[in-house]
């Protein structure tokens, strides 16, 4: 599970009638408003629950550009497979922010160093020095 958990508050305050959300909308709220919009426009409201004010949600950062012209999507329990969002998830950013950054904070506190190549060494010389 790489999605960020959040509480969803203030949906109505950030909603915009024509552009879905207002400028400077918090990322997780932007994703929630878009999720609700996509449920309606794709006739999925009877299959998946809409996100309501106060719900516990998760959000994912998406690769851009993409078909939905956004960098985030929120959801409650699972992403609707009908929206074909899985191929748009920015797994690199999600991995860095949810795993590498917290680990780096801990490693910095104990004065260790981390090789950030993530297995990209391309020669035997790199591997065996």
pLDDT of 70 over the 70 cut: yes
Could you give the CA distance from residue 95 to residue 55 in angstroms, rounded to a whole number? 25
Helix (H, G, I), strand (E, B) or coil at 57: strand
pTM above 0.85, yes or no: no
Cite the residue boundaries of each domain of the chain with CATH code 3.40.1820.10.
1-89
Q: Measured at the alpha carbon of residue 92, what is the angle toward residues 86 and 94, in degrees to the nearest 5?
A: 70
What CATH superfamily is the domain 1-89? DnaQ-like 3'-5' exonuclease (3.40.1820.10)
Confidence (pLDDT) at 59: 97
Taking only the tens place, the pLDDT of each residue in 112-122 is 876 666 655 55
Tell me how many helices (H) and strands (E) the chain has: 5, 5
């Amino acid at each position: 599970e790489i999605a960020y958990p959040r509480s969803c508050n203030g949906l109505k305050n950030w909603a915009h009638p024509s552009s879905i959300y207002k400028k400077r909308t918090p990322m997780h709220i932007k994703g929630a408003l878009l999720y609700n919009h996509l449920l309606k426009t794709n006739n999925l409201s009877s299959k998946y629950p809409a996100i309501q004010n106060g719900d516990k949600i998760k959000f994912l950062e998406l690769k851009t550009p993409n078909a939905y012209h956004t960098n985030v999507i929120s959801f409650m329990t699972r992403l609707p497979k009908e929206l074909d969002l899985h191929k748009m998830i920015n797994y690199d950013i999600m991995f860095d922010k949810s795993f590498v950054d917290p680990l780096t904070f801990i490693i910095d506190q104990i004065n260790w160093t981390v090789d950030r190549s993530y297995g990209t060494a391309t020669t035997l010389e790199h591997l065996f020095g």
